[in-house]
Structure 1
Amino acid sequence: MLYLVSLLLFIRNVKISEAQLTSIKLNNMLKRISKLTLALMLLCLYTNAQWLKKFESSDNLYQDAKREIELKHYQKAINMCNKALDISPKNMDIHLLLGRAYSLAGKVDSARLELNRVIEKNPKYRDAYIYLINMESIACNYVQAIEYADLGLKYFPNDRDILLKKLDVYNKEGNWIESNKLADYLFDKYSGDPFIRTVYLEYKLTLARQYSHKGYIDIAKRSYEAVLEQDPLNKEAIQAVYNLDVRSGNYVSSLAFTNRALQASPSSYEFMIKKVGILEAMYRYVDAIEVIQNLEKLYPNDPEVRKLGPYMRMQAGRYYMNSDPYLQFQGVLEKEPGNRDALNYVVNIANSRGLSEDALSWVNTGLKKYQGDKDLTIKKMGILTNLKSYGLASKLAEGVYRQNPTPDNKANFIELRTQSAKAYIAEQEYDSAISDLKTVLQYDHSDKQATSMMVNAYSQQKRYDDALHVIDEVLTYYPGDEGLLYKKAGVLESYQHYAEAAQISRDLLQRYPDKRHYLNSFVEQSLAAGRQSLAYDDYSSTKTILQEVLEKQPDNLDALNYIINIETAFKQYDSAIVYADQALHYYPDSKDLLFKKAAIYSDAHKYQEAYAITGALHGQFPYNIRFRDAYIDQLQGSGRQYMASNMADSALGEYYKALEASPIDSNTLFYAINILNDQKQYDTALALIARGRRAYPDKPYFLLKRAVIYENQLKWEEAWLTADTLTKMANLDPKYQDYTNYLFSRRLKNQWGVAYLRSKFDYAPSINHIATVQYTRRIKRGSITGRINYAGRQNGTGFQFEADAIYNHTPKWYSYGVASYSPNGIIFPQLKLGYSIFHSFKHGYDGEVGVRYLKADSGTTLSFLASVAKEYKDFYFNLRGYYINLNTNLSSASLASAATTQPNYYSVILSARYYMNPVTHGDWFSAIAGYGTAPDDFSRNYALAQLLSYPTVSCGAGYTKQIKHRTTIGMFFSWYNQKYTDAVFVNNEKIADPTYHNQYDFYLQLLRRF
C-alpha cells in the first residue's frame, strides 16, 4: 500500500513542479515529524544539518567585504555585499558598505543610489552623509556636497566631522566668505579641541596667504593676527606680519612682531637682521648698533655682519651730526648722576621716541637714588603701561593707592590690574587672570567689568559653578541687572542647563519685549532644552517647549522641524501635517519642507499624497537624487499597497511610473517583473529582465527570473541554458546548481525504472516477490508509462502488463488513468481498470474522485474513491477513502466473516510527506497509516475476495532521494496486521482468543531520466 500511494504522489508531484513558481530562496527551517520513529527523526535532523552548512551568513560576508576594501579589492567587496544583500536585503550596514565600495571603485552613480537609500531608510545614519560629502567633493559637485552636509547637520547639529567636511568643500570651491564664517564658528564651538585648533590656524594661514597674494594687505594682516592671538610664536605669521607692515610702512608694528619672534628664537640671524633694518628705518641707530654688536658676537665670521657695523655707525654719525638733546642730557647725567632735571628730560625724550626700555632703565636708575619718589613711580607706571607690563604697573599702582587712597589712585590701580588680567586671558593663563580679578573685586565688589572677565575666565576653564557664584554675588549689588542676568543665561547655556537659561531669557524678554536678542536667546536656549529633553526621550516636555517657542516665533524653522519630527515619531501624522503646513505658510518655496511633508505622508502610508509632492519636486529638480529616490520609493510603497489589496494592475501602473523616473531602479524592476510573471505577461517581463541585465550584469536575480519565466512557459531548453549561465556567474553556487540540474532534468523526455517488492508473512513459510521494469515517456501535457510486473508467490508465478497515463487538461484540472492485464487471474488480477480526476484549489488544497475495477479468479470489485490533499509549508498530507463492492465467485462459507455473498467494504489511508527541498520537492520522508485493504495495493489486491472481510490496520515509512533530479531512489517498509477470528465465548466464558496475522513488505525502486 505504502509504495503505491508514494508512487501516485510522486506522479502528482511532477505536475505540481511544472506549474510551480520556482523562486530560489532556501528555507532552512526544520520541522519535527510526528508519529515517526526516533531513528527516522534523527536521520531527518542530521540530513538538514548537513544542508544548512551550504549557506553563507550575511554577517560573515559583510566582514569579508570590509577586509577586501582594506586590501583595495573593491570589486570583490561589491560582489560580497550583493550576496549579503540577497540574504539580508534590509540591512543598512551592508547597503552603506556597498555604497562605499562603489565609491572607491569609481562607480559614482551606483554609490549614490546605495548611500541615498541608506539615508532615506535611516536619516540618522551619520557615516552615509560623510561618504556622500566626500564623494561629491571629489567629483567637484560642491553644491550637492554642501546640500548633503546641511542635511546631515539637521540630524547631527554641530557635528564636528560634518562641519569639517563642509569647511573643506567651501575651501575647494574657493568660497572664502562662507568658509571664514564656518571656521570661526567651528573654533568658537570647539576651542578646547586640539585638532580643531590646528585646523583653524592652518585655515587662517591659508586665507591670509590668499589675500596677501591678491594684495589685500589689511585683510591678510587681520588673518595673520588671528593666528597670533592663538599661537603668539607662530613664525610664519610673525614673518608675514613683518613683511606686510614693511610694505605698508608701519615700522612700530613690524618691530613689535620682530621682537616677539626673537623672544622665541633669541639667536635668530634672520630676525636680528630684520630688526636692524627696521631700527635703521626708524632712525634708532643706537639700538641698531646694539643689535649689530650681538650679531658680531654670535656670527663673528659672517662677512655681511662685518660690513654692517661700520655701515650703521656711519649712518648714525650722519644722523647725529647736529646736537641731539637726548645725547646732551645723557652727557649731563654721566657727569652729574643726581641731576633731577636731566633725568626727567632723558626719561621724557626716550619715552617720546618710543625708547620705552631705555626710559625704564633711566627711571630705575633714578629710583635707586630717590627711593619711593612719587613722580618717578608714576613715570615708571606709565612706561610699564606702554610696554604692556600691566602686572608690574598694577603693583606700583596698588602701592601708590595704599599710600594715598584717593578715588583717582583707586581707579588707576583697578584699571591697570584689570588690564593685567586681560593680558593673562589673551595668553590663556586663566588662573593668573582670575587671581588679578579677585584682587580687583576685593577693592570693588560691584565692578561689572571684572565680574564679566572673571565669568569668561571660569567659563573657558568650564568652571561653570564658580562663574555662576560670581554672578550671583554681584547681583546682590545690582539685583535684576539686565546685563548680569543676560550673562548668567549665557553661562547656564554653556553649562547645558538650557531650561534654566531659557527661563532667564524669557523673563528678560517680558521686561524688554523690543530687544530682539533676548528673543533669539530664548528661542535658541529653548530649542537646546528641547533637544536635551528629546535625548532623554522626554517628548512631552520637548513638545511643550517647542510650542512655547512657536507662540513667540511662529516662523521659527528649527522649532517647526523639531515638532514635526516628534509628531511623526509618535505617528501623529495629522498633527505633523498641520505643523508642516504652518512651516510652508512662512516658507512656501522651501523644497526641504515640501520634502518633509512628503515623508510624513509616506510614513503614514499615504503614498499617493506623498509622491504627488515628490513627483513635483523631481520634475522641478530632476538631478536631485534625494527627490528622485523618495519619489520612486513612495511609488513602490503605493504599489505594495495595491498588491496587498489584490489590485495587481494598479500596482503595475505605479511601478511603471517609477520606471519612467528611474528606468533601471532595481527594486522597481523586481516588483514589476514579479507581477508580470504572475499575470503571465511573459514577453513584457522578459523585456524588463533584459533591461535589468544591462544595468546590473552582476546581479543574479534577473537571470534567475528569466529561467523561472521560461520554466512557466515550459521552455525547458531556454530555462536550463539561462540557469546554467546563472550558475557559472555565481561561481557554482550550490543553490543555483541544484536549480540548473532540476531544469536539465525537465528537458528529458524518457525515464526507465526498476523496482522490487518482498512480502513476508508470519503465518506462512513462503515469501512473495514482485519485480518490475518500466518505461515512461513525457508528452506535452503529461506522461505515459508502460510497466511489466513479474510475481513469484506460494501458489505460482505470473506476469502483469500495465499502462498508466497523466493528462493535464488545464493548470487546475488533470486526469490519471490506469489499465493492466494478466493472463493468470490468480497471481495478479486478470484485469484492472481505473480513472481519477483531480482539481487544484486555493491555499494548496487538491481534490480527487475516481473509480477502480478489478477482475480476479475469486470475483470482481467495483470501488469508488475520493481524496483530499493539502500542502503546508514543508509538509504534504493526503487522506484517501475507498468504497468497495465485492461480487465474489466463492461460497459465503469460504468468506471468513462475510455476511452476504456480495458484501460492501471500505478502506481509509492517511499519508504524509516531509520535503527536504521544499522548492523542487526532490527528497522526502514519508509515513502512512491505513485501515482496510485498498484495491490499488498490488501486493494484496490479487486476493481481495479472501482479504476484504478481514479487519486490517497498516502503517509504514519510507525515504526517497533524488540525485541531480535525474535519478530517483526509493525505499519503503510497510506492516499489515489482520484479524482472522474473533474471541470465542461459551456460556459467557471465553474459550478461545482472537487470531491475528502479520504481513511485512519491503520495497525498493530506482528511476532514471534520459
Structure 2
Amino acid sequence: MKQNRLYFQIISVLVILLVTGTAGILQAQTFDEARNYAFNGEREKARDICRQILAEGFNSDVALLMGRTYAWDGMYDSARVVLQDVLVQRPENMEAYDALSDVEFWADNNAQAIEYCNAALKLEPESPKFAMKKARILYSDEQYNEAVDVLETYLHENPGEPDFLLKLKEYRLDAMKNKIRVVYTYDSFDSDFNRDPWHFLALSYGRKTKLGSVIARLNYANRFDSNGLQFEVDAYPKIGENNYAYVNYGYSSDALFPGNRFGFELYHNFPKAWEGSIGMRYLDFSSSGVDIYTATLGKYVGNYWISLRSYVTPDTDGTSVSGALSVRRYFADSENYLGLKLSYGVSPDDNRKPIDTEKNLTLKTRSVRAEYNRLIKKIWIVSAGFNVGSEQLEPGNYSGYYSFDVGFSRLF
C-alpha cells in the first residue's frame, strides 16, 4: 500500500513538471510568434497572443511588446495603460521607461517624455541611452542650452565618448547661434625662397539656423608686396538625422585669389562613430578653371578623432594628388583638443595659403602642423597652430617654411 502511494506521488510530480514545463515552452513559443507578427506588421495578431499569455499571469516582456505595438499604431492611450502597469508591477524596469518616453515623444508630449528619462536616470545615473535620449528630446523641443548641458554633464563623468562628442559638436552650434571669429597667420621662408613674410587675416561671422550653419568670411592677404581681398560664404545645410552638406562660394577681383571658387561636399555619419564625405571644388582663374575632387574618412577612437582627406586634380599634363592625415585628442568636449596634421601637396581649402594660380595646386610640399583649441567660459574659443613644411623649388631640392596662426572666437 505504501509502495503504491509512493508510485502515485512520483507520477504526480512528474506530471506536474511535464505540464508546467510544456506550458513554459508553449508560452515561449507563442511569445516568439507574437514578436514575429509584431515586427512583420501584423500587430493586432501579436496583441491577441499577448492577451492570451497575460491572462495566465503577468509577464513584463509580453506587456512591453503589447504596449509598443499600440504605440507603433499611434494608439498612445492604450500604450500608456499597458506600459504604466509594467511600472506598477516592476518599478525599476528600464525598458518600460524607454518605451514610455518613446510614446510621449511620438505623441508630442516632450515634457512627459523628459520626465520618464529623468526617472530612468535616477535609477541609472550613468546610462548613456537615457542621457542621449533626453538630450535629443530637448534638442527637438528647441531647448538647445538644456540639451548641451545634458551632454556636457555626461562627458564630464565619461570623457571621450564618441557619440556624445559628435552630438555636442552639433548641438552646441545651435545653443550659441552666433559666432564671430578672427584668425591671423604669419608665414616665414628660408632664404632660398627669396620671399618676404606673408600675412593673412580672416574675419568671419557665422549664424546657426534651422536649416544649418551659414558663415560669411572676409579674407585679406599680403604677399609679394601685393594686397588682396576675398569674400566667401559657407553653408552647412542639414539633410536628415545623419547627413549634412558643405556648400561654398568665394569671389575676388584681386590676383592673389581665384576669381571665383565653388565647393560642395556631402557628409554622412555611419554607425560606430565613422564619418565619410565626398565632394568637389572648382577654382576659376583668369586663364582657366580647375576641378578638384575630394573625399574624407574619419572615426572616433576613444578620445581621438582620426581622419584622412584626399584631393585629386585631373589635368592634361597628369593627375595631381594631395592629402592629409589628421589626429585630434579631445578633452571633455569637442571644443577642447590638441591636434596633429601631416600633409602632402596643396589643399584648396587651406585659407591660410591663398591659391592665386593653377600652378600652385601642383606644388610638391610636405608639412607637419600642431594645433590647440580651447573653450573658455563657454563663450570664448582660443586657437593656435604651428606649421613646419618644405616646398620643392626644383627637382630634389626642398626649402623650408614656417607658419604660425592664432584665432579668437566669440559665441553669443
Q: Are the structure 2 counterparts of residues 697 and 823 from structure 1 closer, same or farther at C-alpha, using a change threshold of 3 Å?
A: closer
Q: Name the structure 1 match of 2:375.
A: 962
Q: Name the structure 1 match of 2:410.
A: 1008
Q: Name the structure 2 match of 1:976.
A: 389
Separation in structure 1 between the aligned mates of residue 131 and residue 9 of structure 2, nearest angstrom: 61
CA contact (8 A) 1:861 1:885 kept: no
Separation in structure 1 between the aligned mates of residue 120 and residue 282 of structure 2, nearest angstrom: 56
> Which of residues 304, 325, 344 in structure 2 aligns to 1:910?
325
Separation in structure 2 between the aligned mates of residue 722 and residue 846 of structure 1, nearest angstrom: 25
- How many Å apart are 1:906 and its aligned residue? 3.1
- How many Å apart are 1:776 and its aligned residue? 1.4
- How many Å apart are 1:794 and its aligned residue? 4.4
CA contact (8 A) 1:703 1:723 kept: no
CA contact (8 A) 1:909 1:930 kept: yes
Alignment of 1:365-404 (within 5 A): none
Separation in structure 1 between the aligned mates of residue 230 and residue 122 of structure 2, nearest angstrom: 56
> Which of residues 786, 807, 815 in structure 1 aligns to 2:216?
786
Separation in structure 1 between the aligned mates of residue 180 and residue 299 of structure 2, nearest angstrom: 28
Report which of the two has the higher share of strand: 2
Q: Which has the higher contact order (CA 8 A, sep 6+)?
A: 2
Q: Deviations over 1:568-619 (max 9, x none)?
A: xxxxxxxxxx86334x5xxxxxxxx99xx6599679996969977862244x
CA contact (8 A) 2:285 2:357 kept: no
Alignment of 1:562-601 (within 5 A): 580-582=17-19, 598=24
- Letter of the aligned partner of 1:981 in structure 2? E
Matched, 1:940 2:369: no
SS at match of 1:710: helix
Separation in structure 2 between the aligned mates of residue 981 and residue 847 of structure 1, nearest angstrom: 34
- Letter of the aligned partner of 1:1000 in structure 2? Y
CA contact (8 A) 1:815 1:835 kept: no
Q: Name the structure 2 match of 1:997.
A: 399
- How many Å apart are 1:834 and its aligned residue? 1.4
Q: Are the structure 2 counterparts of residues 705 and 952 from structure 1 closer, same or farther at C-alpha, using a change threshold of 3 Å?
A: closer
Q: Name the structure 2 match of 1:747.
A: 175
CA contact (8 A) 2:101 2:112 kept: no
Q: Name the structure 2 match of 1:461.
A: none
Q: Are the structure 2 counterparts of residues 706 and 935 from structure 1 closer, same or farther at C-alpha, using a change threshold of 3 Å?
A: closer
Separation in structure 2 between the aligned mates of residue 944 and residue 1005 of structure 1, nearest angstrom: 27
Q: Deviations over 1:850-896 (max 9, x none)?
A: 2221436xx5441221313343444444433333367xxxxxxxxxx
Separation in structure 2 between the aligned mates of residue 663 and residue 933 of structure 1, nearest angstrom: 61
Separation in structure 2 between the aligned mates of residue 941 and residue 761 of structure 1, nearest angstrom: 16
Q: Name the structure 1 match of 2:46.
A: none
Separation in structure 1 between the aligned mates of residue 174 and residue 200 of structure 2, nearest angstrom: 30
Matched, 1:864 2:292: yes
- How many Å apart are 1:849 and its aligned residue? 1.5
Matched, 1:708 2:148: no
Separation in structure 1 between the aligned mates of residue 182 and residue 148 of structure 2, nearest angstrom: 31
Alignment of 1:441-452 (within 5 A): none
Q: Name the structure 2 match of 1:672.
A: 99
Alignment of 1:195-274 (within 5 A): none
- How many Å apart are 1:672 and its aligned residue? 0.9
CA contact (8 A) 2:290 2:358 kept: no
> Which of residues 60, 72, 85 in structure 2 aligns to 1:661?
85
> Which of residues 535, 543, 554 in structure 1 aligns to 2:11?
554
Separation in structure 2 between the aligned mates of residue 805 and residue 686 of structure 1, nearest angstrom: 32
Separation in structure 1 between the aligned mates of residue 113 and residue 250 of structure 2, nearest angstrom: 51
Matched, 1:824 2:249: no
Q: Are the structure 2 counterparts of residues 869 and 948 from structure 1 closer, same or farther at C-alpha, using a change threshold of 3 Å?
A: closer
CA RMSD of superposed structures (Å): 4.8
> Which of residues 616, 623, 640 in structure 1 aligns to 2:55?
616
- Letter of the aligned partner of 2:86 in structure 1? S
Q: Deviations over 1:1-34 (max 9, x none)?
A: xxxxxxxxxxxxxxxxxxxxxxxxxxxxxxxxxx
CA contact (8 A) 2:54 2:62 kept: no
- How many Å apart are 1:765 and its aligned residue? 6.4
**TM-score normalised by the chain length of structure 2:** 0.70
Q: Are the structure 2 counterparts of residues 924 and 613 from structure 1 closer, same or farther at C-alpha, using a change threshold of 3 Å?
A: farther
The runs of 5 or more residues in structure 1 that have no matched partner are 1-513, 521-549, 561-577, 585-592, 619-627, 887-899, 983-993
Q: Deviations over 1:35-55 (max 9, x none)?
A: xxxxxxxxxxxxxxxxxxxxx
Q: Are the structure 2 counterparts of residues 772 and 871 from structure 1 closer, same or farther at C-alpha, using a change threshold of 3 Å?
A: same
SS at match of 2:138: helix
- How many Å apart are 1:970 and its aligned residue? 2.3
Q: Are the structure 2 counterparts of residues 639 and 906 from structure 1 closer, same or farther at C-alpha, using a change threshold of 3 Å?
A: farther
CA contact (8 A) 2:66 2:82 kept: no
Q: Are the structure 2 counterparts of residues 791 and 813 from structure 1 closer, same or farther at C-alpha, using a change threshold of 3 Å?
A: same
SS at match of 1:659: helix
SS at match of 2:18: helix
CA contact (8 A) 1:854 1:935 kept: no
Separation in structure 2 between the aligned mates of residue 823 and residue 723 of structure 1, nearest angstrom: 42
SS at match of 2:54: helix
Separation in structure 2 between the aligned mates of residue 813 and residue 606 of structure 1, nearest angstrom: 36
CA contact (8 A) 2:313 2:319 kept: yes
Q: Name the structure 1 match of 2:41.
A: none
> Which of residues 308, 330, 338 in structure 2 aligns to 1:879?
308
The runs of 5 or more residues in structure 2 that have no matched partner are 36-48, 159-163
Identity %: 19
Q: Are the structure 2 counterparts of residues 996 and 722 from structure 1 closer, same or farther at C-alpha, using a change threshold of 3 Å?
A: closer
Q: Are the structure 2 counterparts of residues 634 and 904 from structure 1 closer, same or farther at C-alpha, using a change threshold of 3 Å?
A: closer
Report which of the two has the higher share of helix: 1
Q: Are the structure 2 counterparts of residues 928 and 579 from structure 1 closer, same or farther at C-alpha, using a change threshold of 3 Å?
A: farther
Q: Name the structure 1 match of 2:161.
A: none
Q: Deviations over 1:622-651 (max 9, x none)?
A: xxxxxx4xx225545x689x99xxxx949x
SS at match of 1:923: strand
- Letter of the aligned partner of 2:211 in structure 1? R
CA contact (8 A) 1:753 1:1007 kept: yes
SS at match of 2:335: coil
> Which of residues 97, 101, 108 in structure 2 aligns to 1:683?
108
Q: Deviations over 1:895-942 (max 9, x none)?
A: xxxxx8x7653323333434444xx63333333233221222234343
SS at match of 2:12: coil
Q: Are the structure 2 counterparts of residues 860 and 958 from structure 1 closer, same or farther at C-alpha, using a change threshold of 3 Å?
A: farther
Q: Are the structure 2 counterparts of residues 789 and 734 from structure 1 closer, same or farther at C-alpha, using a change threshold of 3 Å?
A: same
SS at match of 1:555: helix
Q: Name the structure 2 match of 1:207.
A: none
CA contact (8 A) 1:602 1:634 kept: no
Q: Deviations over 1:468-507 (max 9, x none)?
A: xxxxxxxxxxxxxxxxxxxxxxxxxxxxxxxxxxxxxxxx
Q: Deviations over 1:673-713 (max 9, x none)?
A: 56559xx72615654545777x8896678898555313034
Matched, 1:775 2:199: no
- How many Å apart are 1:752 and its aligned residue? 0.8
Separation in structure 2 between the aligned mates of residue 809 and residue 658 of structure 1, nearest angstrom: 36
SS at match of 2:334: coil
Matched, 1:632 2:48: no
SS at match of 2:108: helix
CA contact (8 A) 1:829 1:854 kept: no
- Letter of the aligned partner of 1:615 in structure 2? L
CA contact (8 A) 2:182 2:202 kept: yes
- How many Å apart are 1:959 and its aligned residue? 2.8
SS at match of 2:249: strand
- Letter of the aligned partner of 2:281 in structure 1? V
CA contact (8 A) 1:707 1:720 kept: no
Q: Greater Rg, structure 1 or structure 2?
A: 1
Separation in structure 1 between the aligned mates of residue 288 and residue 24 of structure 2, nearest angstrom: 77
Separation in structure 2 between the aligned mates of residue 710 and residue 786 of structure 1, nearest angstrom: 29
CA contact (8 A) 1:598 1:614 kept: no
> Which of residues 735, 749, 757 in structure 1 aligns to 2:185?
757
SS at match of 1:824: coil
